[in-house]
Amino acid sequence: MAISIDISQIKSALDSGTGITREQALAVLSCEGIPLLSLLDLSAGIRFRHFGREVLIHILNNAENGRCPEDCRYCAQSASSSASIEVYALKSDEEILAEARAAHERGAFRYCMVFAGSEPSDERVEHLMGLVRTIKERWPLEVCVSPGRVTSEQARRLRAAGLDRLNHNLNTSSSYYSEICSSHTYEERVQTVRAAKAAGLAVCSGVIVGMGETKEDVFQMAKDLGALGADSIPVNFFIPLEGVALKDPGALTPEYCLRVLCLFRLMNPRTEIRMAAGRERHLRSLQPLGLYVANSLFLGGYLNAQGGADRETLAIVRDLGFSIRSEVPLEDLLKVEHPKVRIKDQKDLRPFCK
Ligand code: SF4
């Protein structure tokens, strides 16, 4: 398919405030479309204007793992999954607090606690409120929780306890949602995002790209998250863990992943865009270019998948001449030996653009 849209039309759409059209978005996402370097140049300019050269480091704590009754087909914790994961009930407060301290010492700006399950009970929310208060008293960390679907009242209570941010991902587009989950709807996810915003919480709401969705779906996700006022958008790239219900559609290449990051940056210029799960596997050697677009990343791994070694990721930040927002200097963090972590299952790596 011949694509006639060029970078000047994208610039005009941004300058005039009309926003990027569906056709322009498809040209951004197509490897035969706008040249990648032109897109990167435009996206990097926006990133530098709003966020300078700073990278926000996030560290995830999977505070509870497995036995979720929902059937999200991409998720190793789902009832529909036979993935071999370490199932455990909620970690003790001592363990969660020790991991918050460790996250601070590893240079984290934000500490994210993730809980399995559909929706928290009021007792669970009360418990989270205590953890949030303690962490905020002890360390200069921003705290984010991912508790599942919450009511407006629960969101208000979490905010009152000092919670900075609530994570609830949309994951995919409205029209594709029923393909990846049947136990709840896209609209239910949107309601939680709205409840959190209304309570005054910052909202982190992201996507998983590479689950079989179309480029139109990717455009719709970037548009919907902008309309919802997401403060942070983690862009995850699907990691097909063995045993999850969703089979790998095999759609991702490093170039396409970069184009996806560019589209989210162009359509959400002031939003924190994160290179999230799967960056090692799917962006591969193009990860440094991703940081010219995204301004945050996860360090050290994801919910049920290993990530790259801390030092390798931090070296990318240093080599780019970027900085991190942390009390711990980047050079000190680079001296710490962390175990070398393997990136699993690279046997079917794909070419840069196919
Ligand atoms: S994504 Fe969340 S709600 Fe869905 S199965 Fe996994 S833990 Fe449960």
Give, as one character, the DSSP assignment of residue 229: T
Give, as one character, the DSSP assignment of residue 33: S
Q: Is the CB of 70 under 6 A from ligand 1?
A: yes
Helices within the chain (DSSP H only)? 7-16, 22-29, 36-51, 93-105, 122-138, 152-160, 177-180, 186-198, 215-228, 254-267, 279-282, 287-290, 310-320, 330-335
Among 75, 124, 304, the mutation site with the greatest number of ligand 1 atoms within 8 A of its Cβ is 75
Give distance in angstroms: CA of 311 to centre of ligand 1. Answer: 30
Nearest to 230 by CA among 186, 257, 194: 194
Instruction: Indicate if the pLDDT at residue 340 is higher than 70.
Output: no
Instruction: Indicate if the pLDDT at residue 354 is higher than 70.
Output: no
pLDDT digit string, tens, across residues 256-303:
999 999 999 999 999 999 999 999 999 999 999 999 999 999 887 666
Domains of the chain: 53-335 (3.20.20.70)
Residue 17's CB is within 10 A of a number of other CB atoms, namely 6
Q: How many whole angstroms from its chain centre is CA 128?
A: 22
Give distance in angstroms: CA of 206 to centre of ligand 1. Answer: 14
Nearest to 147 by CA among 191, 178, 192: 192
Instruction: Indicate if the pLDDT at residue 251 is higher than 50.
Output: yes
Instruction: Indicate if the pLDDT at residue 118 is higher than 90.
Output: no
Instruction: Indicate if the pLDDT at residue 349 is higher than 70.
Output: no
Q: How far apart (Å, rounded) are the C-alpha atoms in residues 252 and 262? A: 15
Give distance in angstroms: CA of 118 to centre of ligand 1. Answer: 7
pLDDT digit string, tens, across residues 127-177:
999 999 999 999 999 999 999 999 999 999 999 999 999 999 999 999 999
Q: Is the CB of 99 under 6 A from ligand 1?
A: no
Q: Is the CB of 78 under 6 A from ligand 1?
A: yes
Give distance in angstroms: CA of 193 to centre of ligand 1. Answer: 16
Among 77, 170, 211, the mutation site with the greatest number of ligand 1 atoms within 8 A of its Cβ is 77
Which residues neighbour 114 within 8 Å (Cβ) at sequence distance 6 or greater?
60, 61, 62, 63, 64, 145, 146, 167, 303
Q: How far apart (Å, rounded) are the C-alpha atoms in residues 85 and 298? A: 20
Q: Is the CB of 257 under 6 A from ligand 1?
A: no
Residue corresponding to tokens 């989270």 = 128
Does this model's pTM top 0.75? My answer is yes
pLDDT-derived band at 209 (thresholds 50, 70, 90) equals very high
Q: Is the CB of 196 under 6 A from ligand 1?
A: no
> What residue owns the CA closest to ligand 1's atom 4?
72
pLDDT digit string, tens, across residues 21-40:
999 999 999 999 899 999 99
Give distance in angstroms: CA of 115 to centre of ligand 1. Answer: 9
Contact 56, 272 (CB under 8 A): yes
Q: Is the CB of 232 under 6 A from ligand 1?
A: no
Give distance in angstroms: CA of 72 to centre of ligand 1. Answer: 6
For CA atoms 277, 195, 68, 130, give the dihedral sign: positive
Nearest ligand 1 atom, CA 70: 5
Mean pLDDT of 86-110: 87
Give distance in angstroms: CA of 161 to centre of ligand 1. Answer: 25
pLDDT digit string, tens, across residues 70-81:
899 999 888 888
Nearest ligand 1 atom, CA 79: 5
Q: Percent of the chain having pLDDT more than 70?
A: 92
Q: What is the amino acid identity at position 72?
A: C
Q: How far apart (Å, rounded) are the C-alpha atoms in residues 234 and 354? A: 25
Q: How far apart (Å, rounded) are the C-alpha atoms in residues 260 and 265? A: 9
Give distance in angstroms: CA of 89 to centre of ligand 1. Answer: 15
Identify the pLDDT of residue 2.
56
> What residue owns the CA closest to ligand 1's atom 5?
78
Q: How many whole angstroms from its chain centre is CA 207?
A: 7
